[in-house]
């Protein structure tokens, strides 16, 4: 299919912050594009339709030198047009390709972790 979907059934929602009604495609697999769009929207803090490096960095689980370097390198790799921003298309295409070998459950768990981190950053900015 090209979207990295598997034939595994949708995992039960965890205690994360993704909606309990995560969308499924007609074939019963997880709608990964819908999940990635949801994550993208929560990282796009200024609602300009693109992710800056700072917004993209919300998906890192720590901020030590090695992780920051890895994030910068990954950002540059994903930013195909080198405009210093990630479009929804660039973000989604890369994540679908890199996650193509993952089961739906593993992809769901990864996405759930990302949205939890993005929402934590959003909450800390409001304080």
The 10s digit of each residue's pLDDT in 79-89 is 999 999 999 99
Helix (H), strand (E) at residue 97 = helix 88-98
Please state which architecture CATH assigns to domain 32-121: Orthogonal Bundle (1.10)
Q: What's the confidence (pLDDT) of residue 61?
A: 78
Q: What is the pLDDT of residues 74-115, one digit of tens each?
A: 999 999 999 999 999 999 999 999 999 998 888 988 988 888
Q: Would you kindly state where each structural domain of the chain is located, as residue ranges?
A: 32-121
Reported as a pLDDT band with limits 50, 70 and 90, residue 37 is very high
Mean residue pLDDT across the chain = 80
Question: Long-range contacts: 65-69, Cβ < 8 Å, 24+?
Answer: none
- C-alpha span between 37 and 34 (Å, rounded): 5
| pLDDT exceeds cutoff 90 at 68 | no
Q: What is the pTM of this model?
A: 0.76
Q: What's the confidence (pLDDT) of residue 44?
A: 93
């Amino acid at each position: 299919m090209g979207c990295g979907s598997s034939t595994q059934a949708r995992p039960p929602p965890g205690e994360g912050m993704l909606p309990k009604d995560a969308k499924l495609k007609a074939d019963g697999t997880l709608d990964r594009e819908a999940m990635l769009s949801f994550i993208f929207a929560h990282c796009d803090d200024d609602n300009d339709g693109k992710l800056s490096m700072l917004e993209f960095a919300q998906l890192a689980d720590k901020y030590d030198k090695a992780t920051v370097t890895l994030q910068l390198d990954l950002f540059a790799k994903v930013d195909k047009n080198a405009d210093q921003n990630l479009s929804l298309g660039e973000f989604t295409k890369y994540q679908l390709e890199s996650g193509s070998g993952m089961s739906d459950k593993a992809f769901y768990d990864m996405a759930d972790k990302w949205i939890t981190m993005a929402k934590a950053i959003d909450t800390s900015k409001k304080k």
